[in-house]
Chains A and B, each alone.
Chain A
């Protein structure tokens, strides 16, 4: 007798889970795909619950002195050339220039900069970017033979304004490497086989923090100090990190999950060069985040829904009042616990898009009442048996 009740309970749970998925699918297509409601979809694309992991600094604070950032401010080309020479003297592993010298300026300073770039050609990674169908490089004057270059594009398909993901290698026949990938390759943190195997697909960036977690210098400090031992064997990236009044400076500043406001971001939070440094840090430690596939996510959601519905059906059968009374509390606890689970997974370098799991789990509790109406109707028509009857 007990066995057949359990069988009925599990069959009901399975059917109710399926019903939850069908209703969720219908709601998704009916509401989200309506163009009039498109702003909602767009707004939610910029929001991910897991952003709070970085925003609230749930991760352990790590600092890195093997990746050194140099703030070029608005230094002219002569100052840049001097700074690069000074850095080269300290014998770093590799120097990254997150700068594009779009056009020529002064013959004298340009020639000095070119000479510095030329004499350290093997040790410098330059930047370029894709702008729709064209490639934007530094002026041809600064081009050197066998120049090491990496793309600095951070916007990917499906990634709105918040920089969460990164693609390390692009292209099928002609391979293109991202700036951070190039730096990791040149400094020997990874090899090409690893890059081609692991970095072809979009992977979540494992942020360790903003510019304060990296050893950073202003270009004036580089020029003024005689010796900087920390630059030896480090990867030094030159880029823009603000020129005073940082709070109001948004040049090359982007939205990332590090933003203090994880909902309703208003001011960009992280300079481009810091994003590259975070990616490089992730590659240097080969500390990539594994993303659970969409199918995997929905399978996990299905399993969660099934067991939540089993408990819901049991509670509903025991007491309708208790079910109605505790329904909202259960939903609140469920969302808090599921989010906690997602953050724990993220701490173990597993990223799961928890929103569908939370939404489907919450909906599954709501569906228990509707499922009762359905089985009552089926029972009336086809003598359908159910745990609830």
Chain B
């Protein structure tokens, strides 16, 4: 009886110790996985990493985990980490004491070392990544290829396609600079007017983002539209441009694409 009581108590004690040995995922950029035994699960904010699991961090990913005392551990290099190696990656943000921070500030104030913040009198309009199809494009194709600019610091891009007839939004993530969608996707099942946008943020404020309008047209309508430019097409042909080059040129200039 005594023995079993001791075993139960020991189990409870070791369980409580184990319970403390966990880190909460506080921030995650990119992708990382938790590996326990043979199962691998993607890690998201708010999950726990225990001493039984291993952390797999992908390239260009950054993960901040905290312990019960609120101390942060930061990993930004690709690799496989176990619990002990994670807690060695102590964040360096608290390395300076109040004294050194204060006297450094006083020194900067005395020498008037200001941050040199740039002040401008103007507004930014832009940050548009989308490249193709351009805004207000008429498109006749069974597949839609979306192309966008890539930024050095961002690896994941979120493509949003909005059906203007149903207000349905299709969202997908990719790490490249283009994505092709086929017209048999449910988002294209109704209507011909769509908008698309690419963002580096997973949950952008869609009301505040610029969308490019695309109008899906039939092959017959495309031919009709293109016919209005017959003089230009003739001139381009005379200049020696091939059929494909002429189509590309009209698509880029007038937004009528095949």
Contact = CB atoms under 8 A, between A and B. Distances in A.
Interface stretch (B41-49, B81-89, B176-184, B249-257): B41-49
Interface residues of B, number: 29
B46 A343 contact: no
B24 A230 contact: yes
Given A245-B208, A336-B106, A230 B203 contact: no
Given A61-B94, A65-B24, A217 B102 contact: no
Nearest to B72: A63
Contact of B70 (A52, A62, A73, A230): A62
Contact of A229 (B46, B66, B93, B99): B46
A243 interface: yes
B102 A340 contact: yes
Nearest to B47: A229
A215 B25 CA distance: 9
A112 to B, nearest CB: 21
B239 interface: no
B204 interface: yes
B16 to A, nearest CB: 15
B24 A215 contact: yes
B46 A244 contact: no
A229 B45 contact: no
Contacts of B24: 65, 215, 230
B105 interface: yes
B101 interface: yes
Candidate in B24, B25, B91, B208 with the most chain A CB atoms within 10 angstroms:
B24
Nearest to B101: A58
A120 interface: no
Contacts of B70: 62-65
B21 to A, nearest CB: 15
B205 interface: yes
A237 to B, nearest CB: 15
B90 to A, nearest CB: 12
Contacts of A218: 203
B188 interface: no
A324 interface: no
A225 B46 contact: yes
B106 A217 contact: no
Contact of A343 (B45, B102, B209): B102
A244 B105 contact: no
B110 to A, nearest CB: 9
Nearest to B27: A212
Interface residues of A, number: 31
A228 B46 contact: yes
A61 B64 CA distance: 14
A388 to B, nearest CB: 33
> Secondary structure at chain B's binding surface: helix, strand, loop or mixed?
mixed
Contact of A244 (B91, B99, B103, B205): B205
Contacts of B91: 61
B33 interface: no
Given A60-B94, A63-B72, A217 B46 contact: yes
Given A221-B45, A221-B203, A230-B46, A215 B26 contact: yes
A65 B26 contact: yes
A267 to B, nearest CB: 13
A220 B66 CA distance: 23
Interface string B231-243: 0000000000000
A303 interface: no
Interface in B56-104: 66, 69-72, 91, 93-94, 98-99, 101-103
B101 A56 contact: yes
Contact of B48 (A56, A230, A244): A230
Contacts of B69: 62
Interface in A49-102: 52, 56-65, 68, 73
A133 B63 CA distance: 49
A347 interface: yes
Contacts of A56: 101-102, 105
Given A63-B26, A63-B72, A347-B98, A215 B46 contact: yes
B205 A243 contact: yes
Contact of A231 (B44, B46, B72): B46
A89 B166 CA distance: 32
Given A63-B26, A64-B70, A230 B205 contact: no
B231 to A, nearest CB: 46
Interface in B200-237: 203-205, 207-209
A62 B94 CA distance: 9
A220 B158 CA distance: 15
Nearest to A90: B46
A374 interface: no
Interface in A4-33: none
Nearest to B115: A260
Interface string B103-128: 10110000000000000000000000
Interface string A209-241: 000000101101100010011110000000000
10 contacts: A63-B72, A65-B70, A215-B45, A220-B203, A225-B44, A225-B46, A228-B46, A230-B45, A230-B47, A244-B209
Interface of B: 24-26, 44-48, 66, 69-72, 91, 93-94, 98-99, 101-103, 105-106, 203-205, 207-209
Given A57-B101, A73-B205, A230-B45, 8 more contacts: A62-B70, A63-B71, A221-B203, A225-B46, A229-B48, A243-B205, A244-B204, A340-B99
